[in-house]
Amino acid sequence: MNFQKKSYAIFGLGRYGYSVAIELINSGADVLAVDKNESAVNAASAEIPNCRCADITDAAVMEQLGIANVDVVVIAMANHLEESILAVMLCKELGVKNVIVKCATEMNRRILLKVGADKVVFPEQDSGTRLAKNLLSSGFIDMFELSGDIALVELDVRPEWCGKSLIELDLRKKYSLNIVAINQNEKVTVNIDPKEKLTEDMQLFVIAHKSKLKKLK
Domain boundaries defined on the chain: 7-135, 142-216
Residue 178: predicted pLDDT: 87
Task: Give the pLDDT band (50/70/90) at residue 150.
Answer: confident
Domain 142-216 has CATH 3.30.70.1450: yes
Residue 126: predicted pLDDT: 54
Residue 212: predicted pLDDT: 78
Question: Which DSSP symbol is given to 103?
Answer: -
pLDDT tens by residue, 18-57: 999 998 998 888 999 999 999 999 999 999 999 999 999 9
At residue 145, what is the residue type? E
Query: Looking at the predicted structure, is the pLDDT value of residue 134 above 70?
Result: no
Query: Looking at the predicted structure, is the pLDDT value of residue 146 above 80?
Result: no
Beta strands, E only, the chain: 7-11, 30-35, 51-53, 72-75, 98-102, 119-121, 142-145, 150-156, 178-184, 187-189, 202-209
pLDDT tens by residue, 60-112: 999 999 999 999 999 999 888 899 999 999 999 999 989 999 988 888 888 99
Per the prediction, the chain carries an average pLDDT of 86
Q: Long-range pairs for 100-108 at CB < 8 Å and ≥24 separation?
A: 100/72, 100/73, 100/74, 100/75, 100/131, 100/135, 101/74, 101/75, 102/12, 102/16, 102/17, 102/74, 102/75, 102/76, 102/77, 102/78, 103/78, 104/78, 104/79, 108/78, 108/81
β partners of residue 145: 151
Residue 35: predicted pLDDT: 97
CATH topology of domain 7-135: Rossmann fold (3.40.50)
Query: Looking at the predicted structure, is the pLDDT value of residue 124 above 80?
Result: no
Q: Is residue 191 within 8 Å of 202, Cβ to Cβ?
A: no
Three-state DSSP class for residue 171 = helix
